[in-house]
């Protein structure tokens, strides 16, 4: 799995693609999300929150992080909380995509700092719609 592509240069022409980091431990779902999202953005992938944090700390922040909640080594909620404590990462919007659908889980996800909360199984159009909304894409 690759890290994020370099950020666009400030002198680059307009119309550059946004950068998204997808954090998901299910390889099939990760590949599916890569295919869906790569039509609108440059996509990097991480298999868990620990790997994602290393990517995030090693370069400029992406325009969006989409993370699962339940993963080995470091879960998505912990990742979001750690991002929100890091001055470089705290403004990075996050979408939590998880099977946890109880109202208290949704509240915990939003309270952790996530901009949106989607439950699995999800409709691809719903995810694309949320991503476009966050990234302000047409």
pLDDT digits (tens, 9 = 90+) for 47-97: 999 999 999 999 899 999 999 999 998 999 999 999 999 999 999 999 999
State how far the Cα of 55 lies from the Cα of 35, in Å rounded to an integer. 20
| 12 pLDDT above the threshold of 50 | no
Tell me the residue range of the domain where 90 lies: 19-133
* CB-CB neighbours of 49 under 10 Å: 26
State how far the Cα of 76 lies from the Cα of 49, in Å rounded to an integer. 6
Kindly state whether residue 138 falls inside one of the protein's structural domains. no
pTM, rounded to two decimals: 0.86
Number of structural domains in the chain: 1
- Domain of 33, CATH number, reads 3.40.50.2300
Mind listing the pLDDT tens digit for each residue in 102-126? 999 999 999 999 999 999 999 999 9
Kindly state whether residue 127 falls inside one of the protein's structural domains. yes
């Amino acid at each position: 799995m690759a890290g994020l592509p370099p950020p666009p240069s400030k002198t680059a022409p307009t119309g550059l693609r946004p950068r998204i980091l997808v954090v998901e431990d299910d390889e099939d779902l990760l590949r599916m999300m890569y295919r869906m999202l790569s039509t609108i953005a440059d996509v990097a992938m991480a298999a868990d929150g620990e790997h994602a944090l290393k990517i995030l700390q090693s370069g400029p922040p992406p325009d969006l992080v989409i993370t699962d909640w339940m993963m080995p080594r470091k879960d998505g909620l912990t990742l979001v909380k750690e991002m929100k404590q890091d001055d470089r990462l705290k403004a990075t919007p996050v979408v939590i995509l998880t099977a946890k659908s109880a109202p208290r889980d949704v509240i915990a996800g939003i309270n952790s700092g996530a901009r949106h909360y989607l439950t699995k199984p999800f409709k691809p159009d719903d995810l694309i719609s949320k991503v476009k909304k966050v990234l302000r894409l047409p």
